[in-house]
């Protein structure tokens, strides 16, 4: 795996600064999902660290227990490279360790529908981890 999942609160200062810069980048101004709640909430927020570069390239929010309704965001520089598959696999494992037993409805809210097809596949992959 190229990614590691960590809790938001476990980001280093350098990782936090890098992520803040990417989340506020012009190309992400119309992105939806956890990017909108990242600086508001503290619980059930995760960062995905690229092991080789030691930087966060994605985030996820997964509120609700024992049924969770997660959402995720991947930095535009890393989209279309298979990181989404790793993200949902890691997220599923993390959620299971936290007692999540199922996945609730996940709305697809990508900007202008650009990533809808990919997002639908990731939702199906995540649900597969929970036997859905």
Contact present, 31 and 73 (Cβ < 8 Å)? yes
Contact present, 2 and 50 (Cβ < 8 Å)? yes
Q: Could you give the domains of the chain?
A: 3-129 (3.40.630.30)
SS3 state at 116: helix
In the 3-class helix/strand/coil scheme, how is 14-71 assigned residue by residue? HHHHHHHHHHCCHHHCCCCHHHHCCCCCCCCEEEEEECCCCEEEEEEEEECCCEEEEE
Residue-wise pLDDT tens digits, 86-122 = 999 999 999 999 999 999 988 877 666 666 778 889 9
Q: What is the DSSP letter of 107?
A: -
Looking at residue 116, its pLDDT comes to 74
Looking at residue 110, its pLDDT comes to 67
Residue-wise pLDDT tens digits, 8-49 = 999 999 999 999 999 999 988 888 888 888 887 778 999 999
């Amino acid at each position: 795996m190229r990614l590691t999942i960590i809790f938001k609160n476990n980001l280093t200062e350098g990782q936090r600064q890098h992520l803040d810069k990417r989340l506020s980048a012009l190309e992400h101004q119309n992105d939806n999902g956890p990017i909108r709640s990242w600086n508001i909430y503290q619980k059930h927020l995760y960062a995905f660290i690229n092991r080789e570069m030691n930087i966060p390239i994605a985030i996820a929010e997964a509120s609700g227990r024992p049924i969770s309704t997660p959402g995720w965001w991947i930095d535009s520089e890393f989209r279309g490279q298979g990181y989404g598959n790793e993200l949902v696999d890691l997220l599923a494992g993390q959620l299971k360790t936290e007692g999540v037993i199922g996945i609730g409805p996940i709305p697809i809210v990508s900007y202008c529908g650009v990533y809808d097809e990919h997002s639908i596949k990731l939702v199906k992959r995540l649900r597969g981890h929970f036997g859905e």
